[in-house]
Structure 1
């Protein structure tokens, strides 16, 4: 869009593009691309275009044995993006919001999963129940955050809101990661703050991890790139600081390219990150 529309305004788009995504799919692909063994547990609907919406997961090496199929139309997001990288996103989760607690727990046991990465686009009550009963590391991206205000999240190993979600969860503007940790009871909180990096609060202290400089083309999915990369690094045995550092590097790479999944780095891509930022020009990567 030339700019984001205001109330009542009609605008012509300068272009329309379509690519695979969805918060859960984004995060699992972000982890898989950096070498982590991954599996997707959830529900996928029918694509009206007759393509297989799970194919992108298979192509990235994600285990989809526990992906339930639903005959209804799949969910989707509409992202309005300006040349400056400002955006507005509207999402219809469709059948992807539906998860069944007991089958999900059985799948996790079958996989001998060590890390469970969940987010707020699945049914809130079922998501919290699965995460509460999981015995490994739980990473929770509370997006959208409203359903989780006031929830006791003491079972969450790492809670990863963005700045706006942090304010919602803590009930105050300008909330810090420590504020969110106190409000939710989560063991560790990482607040992602866009181009600034990530603010971390743990029981042992608080610190900030700066992000490399990047030319922003499209911030869509940057938080998902962060979560997937961080989860994979924790699985490899890194401490939280090391995992957050990789996460901000992956997010910085992602925002310099268009779309979500097509913008996520592979291990060799992160070599292009230097102390001066993301090398090269903005790239358009679709499909």
Structure 2
């Protein structure tokens, strides 16, 4: 399968600091024996890196700080094949995510937005054939402005969950959420097309609340679930924009998500989308 899709991701860029422990601590509890890692992250940057690795022509619109982390985050995106000419250097520090992951791959995340608060669309142009993807780790006002200015296919990963302006919801050609976010945003029942992930159960597509397609999850041994949702978002968007059917697109995205949870990095190393279509056919 050949992917030749221009994709622009507008969103967050974070430095991930992850502590992996045998189990997640409860409120007020300390759990020792952890292993500390530092990695590139941010929902926007994760989706951009995944899209580029899957084969889309990808550019990133975002912001990092004038610090060492900012240099590292920009370099990590470029190394993944992402055009970083739209990543500005802000006066605030680079965004940071503090992550705890247990032995089963479950996680808790606290995000300090930093430079992500200064993401701007100033000087950015969009073309008619361009697919544009956004998340909600940057200002909702910026995302709404993006929806107005986007001339092509507009994808919204509505995470973290929050009330959505009617204008944003009605403009989105595709909204992607997990089952918890779907329950927290009831207005999604009126959206044109919504993808919902159900973890180990699989994923589905809905139109105006009516289920169009479902695909079971591909079996995997989870190591880290942090980047799985972002990889799924990139894969589903590319698959649908490449002309795959709803069901085939879900199968492909599920296969990419399964590969992502087996990678300890929050930004997993992925192959081309066609590889996952072959995996799905073989299964």
Using the size of structure 2 for normalisation, the TM-score is 0.83
In structure 1, the partner of 2:188 is 180
Q: Does 1:193 align with 2:201?
A: no
Corresponding residue to 1:220 among 226, 231, 237: 226
**Structure 1 contact 162–193 (Cα < 8 Å) conserved:** yes
Corresponding residue to 2:248 among 239, 242, 247: 242
Seen in structure 2, the aligned counterparts of structure 1 residues 255 and 50 have a Cα distance that, compared at 3 Å, is closer
Corresponding residue to 1:29 among 49, 55, 74: 49
Structure 2, gaps ≥5 residues long:
1-20
**Structure 2 contact 147–168 (Cα < 8 Å) conserved:** no
Write the mapping of 1:33-44 to structure 2, written as runs, cut at 5 A.
33-44=53-64
Question: d(CA) in 2 for partners of 1:275 and 1:63?
Answer: 32
Structure 1, residues 78-104: CA drift from partner, whole Å, max 9, x if none? 111111222111111211233324433
In structure 2, the partner of 1:176 is none
Seen in structure 2, the aligned counterparts of structure 1 residues 114 and 159 have a Cα distance that, compared at 3 Å, is same
Corresponding residue to 1:85 among 105, 110, 133: 105
- Post-superposition offset of 1:116: 0.5
In structure 1, the partner of 2:139 is 123
Corresponding residue to 2:151 among 135, 151, 154: 135
Structure 1, residues 176-217: CA drift from partner, whole Å, max 9, x if none? xxx7332xxx21011111111112112585321111111111
Corresponding residue to 2:174 among 109, 134, 158: 158
Q: Which range moved further: 134-143 or 197-206?
A: 197-206
- Post-superposition offset of 1:224: 0.2
In structure 2, the partner of 1:99 is 119
**Structure 1 contact 48–73 (Cα < 8 Å) conserved:** no
Question: d(CA) in 2 for partners of 1:166 and 1:78?
Answer: 25
Structure 1, residues 25-78: CA drift from partner, whole Å, max 9, x if none? 100111111111111112122344574321111112211111111243201111
In structure 2, the partner of 1:202 is 207
**Structure 1 contact 181–188 (Cα < 8 Å) conserved:** no
**Structure 1 contact 198–248 (Cα < 8 Å) conserved:** yes
Write the mapping of 1:242-261 to structure 2, written as runs, cut at 5 A.
242-261=248-267
In structure 2, the partner of 1:262 is 268
Q: Secondary structure at the match of 2:103?
A: coil
Structure 1, gaps ≥5 residues long:
171-178, 278-287
Q: Secondary structure at the match of 2:22?
A: coil
Aligned length: 262
